[in-house]
Amino acid sequence: MPDTLTKMAYQAFQDGKNYFGLGHKAIATQLRQWLRPDIKIELESINPNFLQEISRRRDALLEVDWKDAEAGIYSKSLLFDNPWADFFQYYPAIWLDLPAIWERVGTNDVYSFDEDINTSIFPRYYLRNFHHQTNGYLSDLSANLYDTQVELLFGGTADAMRRRILAPLQQALQVKQVVANTIQQAPSEPVEPLKVLDVACGTARTLKMLREVFPEVSLFGIDLSPAYLRKANQLLAETPGTLPQLVQGKAEDMPYRENYFDALTCVFLFHELPAPVRQQVIDEAYRVTKPGGTFIICDSIQMVDTPELEPMMVNFPALFHEPYYRDYTYDDLSDRLAKAGFVEIETEVHFVSKYWVARKPA
């Protein structure tokens, strides 16, 4: 397909997802107001300038996403990758789950887990119904609904935001590969493959794209949720490629030896951690990163960069249970990265996400 047509198809695809997400949210809100008028959620008002700004930022994200694909950092087919099977199979379940969610919102119950879920092995801060999800991160249904819910929340831009980690990662791995080739003892000696860990990999949307873009790299994923890891394994097994090594464990206490990975990525985790745990995860990331390796974080925007989007940062935790989000929006992760020992810390903001790229000194 000629480039202009592919670009138009990409824009139409994204617009379709955006309108679907807006329609979904509007109908769900209306239904809640009719069926549960007792639930009162106080929200900051949104004005037309704010909506214009959101739309401008979304267009800018899609433009830079397209440019990176055009530049060959990733293939254009990645722009159209979408969890369709999940969407068709589980979209009705999102509606069916709403009454249970409203009931918990109405009673302010954010610690609700089915009795057959063994909660004793998880840290206390994790035992919450994040986003008001039924059983938090601890059921197969939650794992099955997660990707579609995130797509609805972000109007179909979740993967476009995740893809912003690919260019800095490619750059970091190129540097590591040059160093590996230089220190190779003899031409016959095999060069060890580079290793990348995705911290809090969830259902593996990031690992899936990493495998497509870096097929030679050994990939690893760690997450606390057994159900999300099962889902990750299922998603990764659907398409050809080596299966990344998935491990159930805490990001703040990882079962890897020090100086092990050439790079680490971490998408949408930090806003779900209490402040002290954020520092522990960063310290742990530093420990397992090889000297000269890179740590890339993608998470929510923060107040310091985008005060004009304050209504969104205030309304998000009011609508979706996010107990650590407000504190996160004021947290200086660059300072935390520097405290751990990382250097050359750079940040970027795209749409409603912020990125940190940090290097462990060689």
Which residue of this chain has its Cβ atom nearest to ligand SAM in the complex?
202
3 state SS of 358: strand
**Nearest-approach distance from CB 168 to ligand SAM, in angstroms:** 16
Helix pair angle (310-319, 48-70), 10° resolution? 90
Q: Are 154 and 25 in contact (CB under 8 A)?
A: no
Of 7 and 83, which CB lies nearer to ligand SAM in the complex structure?
83
**Nearest-approach distance from CB 283 to ligand SAM, in angstroms:** 13
Residue with tokens 């800095």: 168
Give the binding-site size for ligand SAM (rule: CB under 6 A).
19
Report d(CA 75, CA 1) in Å as an integer: 13
Beta bridge partners of 141: none
* Residues 269-308 close enough to bind ligand SAM by CB under 6 A: 269, 272
Alpha-carbon dihedral angle through residues 257, 260, 263, 267, given to the nearest 10 degrees: -20
Report d(CA 249, CA 188) in Å as an integer: 37
Of 68 and 223, which CB lies nearer to ligand SAM in the complex structure?
223
Of 62 and 165, which CB lies nearer to ligand SAM in the complex structure?
165
Q: Are 310 and 120 in contact (CB under 8 A)?
A: no
Of 195 and 231, which CB lies nearer to ligand SAM in the complex structure?
231
Q: Which of 105, 152, 172, 224 binds ligand SAM (CB under 6 A)?
A: 224
Q: Which of 228, 261, 270, 351 binds ligand SAM (CB under 6 A)?
A: 228
Q: Are 61 and 161 in contact (CB under 8 A)?
A: yes
Of 7 and 153, which CB lies nearer to ligand SAM in the complex structure?
153
User: What separation in angstroms does the CA of 265 have from each of 83, 199, 289?
Assistant: 21, 6, 11
* Residues 147-206 close enough to bind ligand SAM by CB under 6 A: 162, 200-202, 205-206
Report d(CA 322, CA 277) in Å as an integer: 15
Does 132 bind ligand SAM (CB under 6 A)? Our answer is no
**Nearest-approach distance from CB 188 to ligand SAM, in angstroms:** 39
Q: Which of 7, 164, 231, 250 binds ligand SAM (CB under 6 A)?
A: 250
Does 126 bind ligand SAM (CB under 6 A)? Our answer is yes
Report d(CA 322, CA 306) in Å as an integer: 19
Residues that bind ligand SAM (CB under 6 A): 126, 137, 162, 200-202, 205-206, 223-225, 228, 250-252, 267-269, 272
